[in-house]
Structure 1
């Protein structure tokens, strides 16, 4: 049995919904695959979606920051976003070590990420192949909103992907 760790962005339900369809297809295509979903925000939705699937297990972990919006608005709050991303980056090495321990313990052989940098970096540190899929990364989503050193940090994490599949409407650099 091959074990895949599937990291899903914690921002909203879109990533979780898309990932649900992809995970179902992965399980249908290969009976020798089990999936560990790594996520927190929409974990209840995901657990309900796979409640009858014994090859799917769950690991509650904050995978990324997402957007921080102004109160009563759909506009980003750049100051709060900078603070939140800065905190995420300062804690990243601790989270990275936790994920590496998890991957070793569960004998993870492949990582899919939609589109958390945490799973990608952890996989790279252990020489496990990773596959990123999304129509954006948080690097491009945050351009013009957060400080350059924070953007650079995210860019470095995403550069570690073994494979990347850009979905429709992607503006990601190659």
Structure 2
């Protein structure tokens, strides 16, 4: 009698879509390479994940929280974030009981989380392996904001229950995991060539295209910036959810699941720091200009390393708005040249190490 394929329950953070984007890349690689059944548990990105992974069962449910930004700013709202943190951890008892039932009912053999902490406690209680994969942990984020908050002990204990932490590039060290393995870059692969996508939008190869990724709450470009872009003949690409008056605008369709192709068609990415956009730009060799959200620890991981690699630089949120980054269009050649000097882990495909780590615990 043949053994049924092992079942992985894949928990994806509910904060934004960056965790979902890279988890989609990982799940695609895993399901293509080995006989496994993958179940996904996530909240806000559930529809996006379901559309991106036909055939994979996606069960909606909230796992975690992130930071709360002040309205129309790139600054963390500390009081509201602290309140959300307190409420979130107060619900852990119910969450753990519900997830234990879910995993028993679906005969889960392995839990993988990017990067909600509580699933590792579920794995520990069921006696099954738990693997984390990320470039940061929520413990790092919240400890930088509230170093004395009681919730930090709960979060630390949850991460410590994991059997292994897979550390992606642009990381904070992730020392909270007792056993760690550094792996290469993981990002969604370009599925439509730059030339083909540009042709679809009537753009020739010389047209300057800038991908703007400010997030939904960032203030819009100033009128002066819009005029400068118009005068320079720049075409801008934005998410369908971003409000902007940028000229010659290409809005990524709301139902598009492969936004990495729009990064790949661009000459410059101007965005907030975030693993999904940064990793996809690095993979496509597109220079980056990144702005920081004040009080958001993770952003520093990207801005520092992008600048150190010479493939872009850091600006402030106000410089994003006032268009100081337009001068970087004259430096694109220099930024591109530095992609030739990149070394591991930025040039290494991390999926091989991911597959190896999974195989070790489910074989």
TM range (shorter): over 0.9
Match of 1:7 in 2: 11
Secondary structure at the counterpart of residue 136 of structure 1:
coil
- State the Cα distance separating 1:118 from its structure 2 match: 2.3
Q: Give 5+ residue unaligned stretches, structure 1.
A: none
Q: Corresponding residue for 1:43?
A: 46
RMSD: 1.1
What is the alpha-carbon distance in structure 1 between the residues aligned to residue 137 and residue 118 of structure 2? 12
The normalised TM-score by structure 2 is: 0.46
Aligned pairs (5 A) from 1:88-107: 88-107=88-107
Q: Which structure exhibits the higher relative contact order, with contacts defined as CA atoms closer than 8 Å and separated by 6 or more residues?
A: 1
Deviation of 1:83 (Å): 0.9
- Residue in 1 that maps onto 2:73: 73
> Highest CA radius of gyration, 1 or 2?
2
- Aligned pair count reads 170
Aligned to 2:129: 129
Query: What corresponds to 1:22 in structure 2?
Result: 26
- In the alignment, the residues of structure 1 paired with residue 133 and residue 13 of structure 2 have an alpha-carbon distance, to the nearest angstrom, of 11
Segments of 5+ residues of structure 2 without an aligned counterpart are 177-363
Residue 173 of structure 1, CA deviation = 2.1
Deviation at 1:10, TM superposition (A): 0.6
Superposition deviation, residue 2 in structure 1:
1.0
Residues 25-81 of structure 1: per-residue CA shift (max 9 Å, x gap): 1101112x1100000111111111112x2xx10111101011111111222111111
TM-score of the superposition, structure 1-length normalised? 0.93
**C-alpha displacement at 1:148, in angstroms?**
2.5
Give the CA deviation at 1:90.
0.8
Q: Which moved more, 1:145-154 or 1:61-70?
A: 145-154
Aligned structure 1 segments of 4 or more residues deviating by more than 6 angstroms? none
Q: Which has the higher strand share?
A: 1
